[in-house]
Amino acid sequence: MIRIANYINGQYQAPLTNSYIPNYNPSDGAIYGDIPDSDASDVQAAYKAAETAFPEWSTSTLEERSKIMLRIAELLDENLQKFAEAESKDNGKPVSLAKVVDIPRAASNFRFFGNAITQFSSESHESTGLNAVNFTLRQPIGVVGCISPWNLPLYLFTWKIAPAIAAGNCVVAKPSEVTPMTAYLLGEICTQAGLPEGVLNIVHGLGGSTGQAITEHPKIKAISFTGGTATGAHIARIAAPMFKKLSLELGGKNPNIIFADCDYDDMLQTTVRSSFANQGQICLCGSRIFVEASIYEKFKTDFVEKVNALKVGHPSKEDTNIGALVSKSHLEKVKSYIDIAKSENGKVLAGGEEVTVDGFENGYYLAPTVIEVSSDECRVNQEEIFGPVVTIMPFTSEDEVLQMANKVKYGLSATLWTNNLKRTMRMSQSLQAGIVWVNTWMMRDLRTPFGGVKESGVGREGGFEALRFFTEPKNVCIKY
Ligand code: NAD
């Protein structure tokens, strides 16, 4: 049993509540540790540490901050295996995936923002004829709150923390209670890298108590949140009357639009990945696949064959493509959508069933599932399932597919497969999404703005957008 602790003021500390919640291993369904069930008193202790650290950290040189952040990145690289195994055990994702995606990206987040802060600049305006010059001071906000989900635990946790501290803020952060382990391990790395006490404080616990206390804290001036749309709306309701700065990265139901003129093999291979990577538990997964009618039957046959060849297995096995879903309750939710699909005349072409993995019979495994739907308006096509379930249906014209693609409440990302340049531009302009990938999926350049429109979120992370979020612009006007 592993008991984890909060990381406050550079020290691991038991929660003041002295209360704990169990932590499950999704690959075998067993409890393997427990985590602090922190409340507002723990959040207050974290806030105090952050507040105390702020004057010195916010006035430290960019070189000092950058050096520490680059060292954190190096230490994450050096501890790749340990972190990847911890992530896999907590989340159910294949260790092989955590080794090439989650942990390297967490290191990149620190490396990227450690470098970006040295290049961050602000505008100045010479007011000619008025003998005045205006410039913008970009000052750190103070103590900020970062709240993250379970699907890409350390990857998304550090995607917020890194720009926040690079910009000179001090942080009270909460990882998901479902996947707290790598955030716990990060504390030790930060101490080793020389991050001053109190700059980063990590408080573990449930959303309704710990997360709520961070959101409600009167002196935590900004909240950067990634998670479900309903939680985002709840946080916005609390934060708005307190006039907090808010960045919300929320749910998605992303279209994957395939035209007959695409590079077929590349499309097919990538579509398997964009459907089922991380057990389909990535907010960017293309869970609604629309295929031009002329290649629909061929695609259906080839896709189903490839999906059936994916190996569902224990996350530690090298040949596993699909690991376990994150929790029992999530498995039940995803399964319920397969039943909903059937009741709406959806045809299950692949998967649709739980999988029993030998020796791990209590794990949360589900076969990658492809459902052919006859209407884009059915629930499985409209609601976020966030698991290894995709729908497919044909389309006949660009206008028709554009309408269907946009006819959901979400607008996070869209993928487009075509070699027609004019269509690429038309569709990119008209798709209601924060990110459009053309002939690729989840190719990330950390300088680009990242976020969604409609109910997929408010604001943008990434690059200078994140540094802008975590700073307050102040106009200084000097008359000379
Ligand atoms: P969730 O909303 O249940 O939880 C996210 C985080 O918020 C957790 O740390 C949770 O403890 C906390 N939380 C819950 N209630 C809270 C409250 N009342 N106050 C403050 N914090 C609270 O989401 P989840 O199930 O962990 O993650 C899955 C969701 O995240 C999906 O909808 C997915 O699309 C979304 N997501 C979005 C992005 C993106 O970049 N847009 C990325 C990954 C995941």
Q: What is the per-residue DSSP string for 65-126?
A: HHHHHHHHHHHHHHTHHHHHHHHHHHH---HHHIIIIIHHHHHHHHHHHHHHTTT----EEE
β partners of residue 8 = 11
The low-confidence residues of the chain, meaning pLDDT below 50, are none
Per-residue pLDDT, 13: 98
Report the atom number in ligand 1 closest to the C-alpha of 176.
9
Q: Which stretch of DSSP H or E encloses residue 389?
A: strand 389-395
Could you tell me if 22 and 36 are in contact, meaning their C-beta atoms sit under 8 angstroms apart? no
In the reported structure, the alpha carbon of residue 378 is separated from the centroid of ligand 1 by a whole-number distance in angstroms of: 24
pLDDT given at position 464: 98
DSSP state of 29: T
**Closest of 217, 207, 82, 222 to residue 148, by C-alpha:** 207
3-state secondary structure of 439: coil
The pLDDT, as a whole number, for residue 42 is: 98
Tell me the CA–centroid distance for residue 480 and ligand 1, in Å: 51
Atom 22 of ligand 1: nearest residue by CA position: 207
Q: Which of 21, 176, 334, 410 to mutate to test the pocket of ligand 1 (most atoms within 8 A of CB)?
A: 176
Q: What residue ranges in 117-208 does DSSP mark as E strands?
A: 124-127, 132-140, 143-147, 170-174, 200-202
What's the rounded Cα separation, in Å, for the pair 73 and 190?
A: 10
Name the DSSP letter for residue 128: T
- Taking the C-alpha atoms of residue 175 and residue 238, their distance in angstroms, rounded to an integer, is 19
In whole angstroms, what is the distance from residue 33 CA to residue 15 CA? 15
Q: pTM score > 0.85 for this model?
A: yes
Q: CA nearest 43: which of 163, 258, 208? A: 208
Mutate to test the pocket of ligand 1, among 177, 179, 203, 226 (most ligand atoms within 8 A of CB): 226
Instruction: For residue 443, report the distance from its CA to the centre of ligand 1, in Å.
Output: 23
Q: What is the pLDDT of residue 284?
A: 98
Per the annotation, the verdict on 283 as an active-site residue is yes
Q: In one letter, which amino acid is 68?
A: I
User: Which phi and psi (to 5°) does residue 135 adopt?
Assistant: -140, 160
249 is catalytic: yes
Nearest CA to ligand 1 atom 35: 227
**Predicted confidence (pLDDT) per residue in 27-65, tens digit:** 999 999 999 999 999 999 999 999 999 999 999 999 999
pLDDT at position 107 is 99
Q: How many residues does the chain have?
A: 480
Contact 181, 3 (CB under 8 A): no
Measured by CA distance, the residue closest to atom 12 of ligand 1 is 207
Tell me the sheet residues that pair with 7. Answer: 12, 202
CA of 352 to the centre of ligand 1 (A): 26
Q: Measured between alpha carbons, how far is 312 from 452 in angstroms, rounded to an integer?
A: 31
Residue matched to tokens 């309701």:
237
Sheet containing 369-372: give its strands across. Answer: 347-350, 369-372, 389-395, 288-292, 255-258, 413-417, 435-438
Q: Which residues line ligand 1 (CB under 6 A)?
A: 147-151, 156, 174, 176-177, 207-208, 211-212, 215, 226-228, 231, 234-235, 249-252, 283, 384, 386, 412, 452, 456-457
CA-proximal residue: ligand 1, atom 36 (nearest): 227
Question: What is the predicted pLDDT for the residue at 273?
Answer: 98
Q: Which of 87, 177, 249, 465 is catalytic?
A: 249
The one catalytic residue in 283, 372, 455, 461 is: 283
Q: How far apart are CA 118 and CA 362, in angstroms?
A: 49
Q: What are the C-alpha distances in Å from 350 to residues 13, 81, 264, 304, 330?
A: 48, 33, 21, 6, 20
Q: Helices 62-78 and 181-192 meet at what angle, rounded to 10?
A: 130
Mutate to test the pocket of ligand 1, among 109, 147, 209 (most ligand atoms within 8 A of CB): 147
